[in-house]
Amino acid sequence: MDNNKDNNKEKSDFIREIIREDLERNGSNQEIHTRFPPEPNGYLHIGHAKSICLNFGLADEFGGKCNLRFDDTNPVKEESEYVESIKKDIKWLGFDWGDREYYASDYFEKLYEFALILIKKGKAYVCDLNADEIREYRGTLTTPGKESPYRNRSIEENLRLFKEMKEGKYPDGSRVLRAKIDMSSPNLNMRDPIMYRILHKRHHRTGNKWCIYPTYDWAHGQSDSIENITHSICTLEFEDHRPLYDWFIEQLGIHHPRQIEFARLNLTYTVMSKRMLLELVEKKYVNGWDDPRMPTISGMRRRGYSPEAIRNFCSEIGLAKAESTIDLAFLEHFIREDLNKKAARVMGVLNPLKIIIDNYPDDKQEELEAINNPEDLNAGTRKIPFSKVLYIEQDDFMENPPNKFYRLSPGREVRLRYAYFIKCVDVIKDKNGNILELHCVYDPSTKGGNAPDGRKVKSTLHWVSARHAITAEVRLYDKLFIKENPLKLKDGEDFKDNLSPNSLVVINNCKLEPYLKKVKPGEVYQFERLGYFCVDTDTTNEKIIFNRTVTLKDEWAKISKTL
Ligand code: ATP
Ligand code: MG
């Protein structure tokens, strides 16, 4: 793994402790074997990245293996598009499953045989109750369940009905196969859970071969067992499913992986449920799964986050047994830390204000030297053209400045980065009083940005030469939701009511230094004083589009001081 800053230090957390103990107990010849088991019903998000870094990371650290397994048991919601995106995202994050790409659907035959074993042992039965009845019979946390009237069918009848279900003799929803466990168990998962349902639906891999499909609960543990997974790591909501998974494995007498649960990652100002993310995509609240505002890996990639930054973040948040929510600012802290080292500094003006240097010759142009990255002097220098007409940021000028405003205003002298001191001598307006352009004078003796007489200025502005500038579209992204927890809803509210109206602002006529003429999608630059900006994948030869990856201000530094 490249660049993972945590590579050299031995990590410690409750999962690694358990694994070390297991390895000690079982002797060092045991290889650990984990898996990452996504359901291909959506694109991966940053929560999945935590699970990927953990499962592949453990395999790396302990010299074991990690499988990629698609838990594709639900043909209604799954698509090959999702399979492809998941593979792309895992690779991009920097992990490799080798030739171990598996699908729960590869085990449909095996799972069917396992089901027959349970039926023959009197541990599973075909139930004709409908979905509502099953729910009603299940009882609640405070009341015990009621046994299904079909629970005591003979083994022969169960075998016949189950085979007929598989052969397609019955319509959707008419029958299910259930495990025969305990309707009075305090754990609802143990109250005769469903193993198979009838679904006459085409599957993305098995086509029309099957019309009964295993439930996730029936498929998951057995799939882990079939793959000889040693440590089956999952999120906390599966803690209550563990007794069921143990029960299946014990009844079948097959390899028993050890399941360990950890708390899922939650982030402020976003949602992490695939169902909700899908809704945002389908109802066009965002522009697709890879919209840079999405917490998806593809969205973050498009926004300019690097795999190293995401891995460092996942490593630093650590593992816990209790749910918590991580501050979005903490993630952005890692993005900045990473880009600070890598991104070349350039000058770009988002909202241009034209200035004319009255005492600069009309046709003259100069090449001024600029440092590409003060954090990485190997990145070298470049030339920036300077000429009589320039653009500066509209925000950097005020005609009637308040006390604390040190940037340009009439009569005030400021520095243009890498260039000269200039002073504003005149403000030109249209008939409505809008500022059209400024007239300035420059001091030729301040070339490079310092005055030989030692006089100081209070601010340094970025700028671009008008004649040399290239024009670009810049998309400014902000938090997707206005509330820290968009799911904290009052009666009648929907999470979408908390979407931020300002999460995307497009500016069309930005002026950039000519160095950026030949940028390629995915490259990230620091626009001095403004933030980090990534070249969007929609960029063409005709049109350059930048996404703002993140601003320069590290909110985390502020927050962590108050903690
Ligand atoms: P969702 O609840 O958003 O639909 P999911 O958990 O059903 O997601 P899966 O495709 O089943 O999504 O997840 C694959 C793996 O990623 C599982 O092992 C799951 O535990 C893990 N995972 C999913 N979300 C998170 C998260 N927020 N933090 C950590 N791990 C996660
Ligand atoms: Mg799931």
Query: Which whole number is the average pLDDT over 326-347?
Result: 97
The enclosing domain of 307 has a CATH number of 3.40.50.620
Residue 387's CB: how many other CB atoms inside 10 A?
17
Q: How many Å lie between the centroid of ligand 1 and the Cα of residue 48? A: 6
What is the β-pairing status of strands 389-393 and 413-416? Answer: unpaired
Residues 201 and 270 in one domain: no
Q: What per-residue confidence (pLDDT) applies to 560?
A: 74
Residues 138 and 285 in one domain: no
Residues 77 and 175 in one domain: no
DSSP code at position 351: S
Does 229 fall in a domain? yes
- Residue for token pair 């048991």: 73
CA–CA distance, 261 with 231 (Å, rounded to integer)? 10
CA distances from 373 to 53, 163, 418, 462, 528 (A): 30, 68, 14, 15, 11
- Residue for token pair 């040399």: 468
Residues 353 and 456 in one domain: yes
From 149, 182, 217, the end of a domain falls on 217
Q: How many Å lie between the centroid of ligand 1 and the Cα of residue 343? A: 32
Does 457 fall in a domain? yes
The torsion angles phi and psi of 250, rounded to 5 degrees, stand at: -65, -40
Residues 398 and 415 in one domain: yes
CA–CA distance, 386 with 261 (Å, rounded to integer)? 60
3-state secondary structure 127-145: ECCCHHHHHHHHCCCCCCC
Residues 114 and 94 in one domain: no
Query: Residue 273 CA: which ligand is closest?
Result: 1
Span 92-123, pLDDT tens digits: 999 999 999 999 999 999 999 999 999 999 99
For ligand 1, whether the C-beta of 54 sits within 6 Å is: no
CA–CA distance, 352 with 508 (Å, rounded to integer)? 11
Averaged pLDDT score across all residues of the chain: 95
Q: What per-residue confidence (pLDDT) applies to 410?
A: 98
For ligand 1, mutation pick of 51, 56, 274, 279 (most atoms within 8 Å of CB): 51
- Catalytically annotated residues: 39, 264, 274
From 158, 190, 217, the end of a domain falls on 217
Q: What per-residue confidence (pLDDT) applies to 563?
A: 62
Our count of domains for the chain comes to 3
Query: Closest Cα partner for 216 from 187, 238, 232?
Result: 238
Span 43-56, pLDDT tens digits: 999 999 999 999 99
Query: Which whole number is the average pLDDT over 510-524?
Result: 97
CA–CA distance, 321 with 262 (Å, rounded to integer)? 5
Which percentage of the chain shows pLDDT scores above 90?
Answer: 93
Residues 196 and 237 in one domain: no
For ligand 1, whether the C-beta of 274 sits within 6 Å is: yes
What is the β-pairing status of strands 344-346 and 348-349? Answer: unpaired
From 159, 193, 217, the end of a domain falls on 217
The enclosing domain of 394 has a CATH number of 2.40.240.10
Query: Which whole number is the average pLDDT over 365-385?
Result: 95
Residues 419 and 315 in one domain: no
The enclosing domain of 152 has a CATH number of 3.90.800.10
Please say whether the beta carbons of 119 and 162 come within 8 A.
Answer: yes
Confidence of residue 2 (pLDDT cuts 50, 70, 90): very low
Give strand ranges (E) for 147-264. Answer: 176-179, 194-198, 212-214, 231-235, 258-262
What one-letter code names the amino acid at 373? N
Query: Closest Cα partner for 76 from 218, 178, 215, 176?
Result: 215
For ligand 1, mutation pick of 45, 70, 217, 235 (most atoms within 8 Å of CB): 235
Query: Which whole number is the average pLDDT over 50-66?
Result: 97
For ligand 1, whether the C-beta of 348 sits within 6 Å is: no
Please say whether the beta carbons of 466 and 511 come within 8 A.
Answer: yes
Span 185-239, pLDDT tens digits: 999 999 999 999 999 999 999 999 999 999 999 999 999 999 999 999 999 999 9
Residues 224 and 98 in one domain: yes
Does 224 fall in a domain? yes
- Residue for token pair 């089956």: 232
Which percentage of the chain shows pLDDT scores above 70?
Answer: 98
Does 27 fall in a domain? yes
Q: What per-residue confidence (pLDDT) applies to 539?
A: 97
Does 531 fall in a domain? no
The minimum-distance atom of ligand 1 relative to the CA of 273 is 3
Residues 227 and 326 in one domain: yes
Residues 89 and 146 in one domain: no
Q: What per-residue confidence (pLDDT) applies to 10?
A: 78
Does 402 fall in a domain? yes
Q: What per-residue confidence (pLDDT) applies to 78?
A: 79
What one-letter code names the amino acid at 548? R
Residues 285 and 363 in one domain: no
Q: How many Å lie between the centroid of ligand 2 and the Cα of residue 461? A: 50
Does 245 fall in a domain? yes
Neighbours of ion ligand 2 (CB under 5 A): 39
Residue with CA closest to ligand 1 atom 25: 47
455, with CB counted inside 10 A (0-12, 13-18, 19+), is exposed
CA distances from 69 to 73, 214, 273 (A): 12, 16, 20
pLDDT at 182 over 80: yes
Structural domain boundaries enclosing 436: 348-462
For ligand 1, mutation pick of 13, 15, 44, 48 (most atoms within 8 Å of CB): 48
Query: Which whole number is the average pLDDT over 347-374?
Result: 97
Residue with CA closest to ligand 1 atom 18: 234
Q: What per-residue confidence (pLDDT) applies to 3?
A: 41
Provide the residue count of the chain: 563
Does 341 fall in a domain? no
pLDDT at 467 over 50: yes
Confidence of residue 5 (pLDDT cuts 50, 70, 90): very low
Span 11-38, pLDDT tens digits: 889 999 999 999 998 876 789 999 999 9
For ligand 1, whether the C-beta of 47 sits within 6 Å is: yes
Span 433-464, pLDDT tens digits: 999 999 999 999 999 999 999 999 999 999 99
Please say whether the beta carbons of 83 and 42 come within 8 A.
Answer: no
